[in-house]
A = this chain, B = another copy of it.
Amino acid sequence: MTETNARPREGHGSHCGANASLVEKLASCAIPIRTGRRQRLALTGEEGEPIYLVVAGVVILDAILPADQRQIFACFYPGDVFRASMTPGLSGVNATAIASEGEVWRLRWPAFETLAKQDPEVALLLIKHFSEQASRLVLHITALGSLTGDQRVAYLLADLAARTGTTMSSGAVTFEMPFSRADMADYLALNPDTVSRIMSRLRTKGLLGRAAKGRLVCHDLAALRLESPLLAMLSGSAADRRL
């Protein structure tokens, strides 16, 4: 694991969505970590439990279950916060940065604790953020519970595109695809084979194309979101969504 010791750069708040003010306040006690593809992050710390904040890239939380199957619990995008205690007491839980380049801040609990006691506002902002982030877990529960395989894949792709993609002049959106077929399967509760079939179908329909190695293009993001009833339903509250 490579870690830089420099203080975090200014100006990252703008990438971190709604909780920019929280990010600003945490910068003073954060230890920035530059992450590469498939880099594992240590979830436990020496004293107390550290808090992690994703600044760039995508981080997944996963574990290997008894039957040798892997489950991806959640994936975190810039602005999100995660901790070891967010995972149930399963053995073999990992946090992995999967984007080709990313940045994560580690906040040691004692440092955070003193910061929170100096400035009570910090803790309140974090409470609000945790509530909102719980809503993403709830959304994922809903996706697993109410969507078909095709709809689940559309939900993941549309989310990725909206959160990390860049819109081209043609209106198409290109984005890095940091999930392998197996990752998608483990996150969406499907089989890699099934995921592959679904991706092929989306390609045939013309909704999806390959931009470059490890990157996808969606020619019509609105149409992709329509494939997933959940996202279509959320469009009203664009608070946590950029497109």
How many angstroms between the C-alpha atoms of A91 and B128 in the bound complex? 20
Judge whether A131 is part of the interface by a CB distance below 8 angstroms.
yes
Contact between chains at A86 and B141 (CB < 8 Å) = no
Main secondary structure of the interface of A (DSSP, over half): helix
Judge whether A168 is part of the interface by a CB distance below 8 angstroms.
no
Judge whether A212 is part of the interface by a CB distance below 8 angstroms.
no
Judge whether A19 is part of the interface by a CB distance below 8 angstroms.
no
Knowing A83-B131, A124-B123, A130-B131, say if A138 contacts B74 (CB, 8 Å). yes
Knowing A90-B234, A135-B85, say if A71 contacts B130 (CB, 8 Å). no
Contact between chains at A229 and B65 (CB < 8 Å) = yes
Chain A 200-243: CB-based contact to B (< 8 A → 1; otherwise 0): 00000000000000000000000000000110111011011000
Contact between chains at B89 and A141 (CB < 8 Å) = no
Contacts of A136 in B (CB 8 A): 88
Contact between chains at B120 and A88 (CB < 8 Å) = no
Judge whether A73 is part of the interface by a CB distance below 8 angstroms.
yes
How many angstroms between the C-alpha atoms of A146 and B189 in the bound complex? 7
CB-contact partner of A146 in B69, B86, B133, B239, under 8 A: B69
Judge whether A111 is part of the interface by a CB distance below 8 angstroms.
no
CB-contact partner of A233 in B66, B113, B135, B229, under 8 A: B66
Contacts of A42 in B (CB 8 A): none
Judge whether A21 is part of the interface by a CB distance below 8 angstroms.
no
Query: 13 interchain pairs (CB within 8 A)?
Result: A65-B142, A73-B141, A86-B135, A87-B135, A88-B135, A91-B233, A120-B120, A123-B127, A130-B131, A137-B137, A144-B189, A145-B186, A145-B188
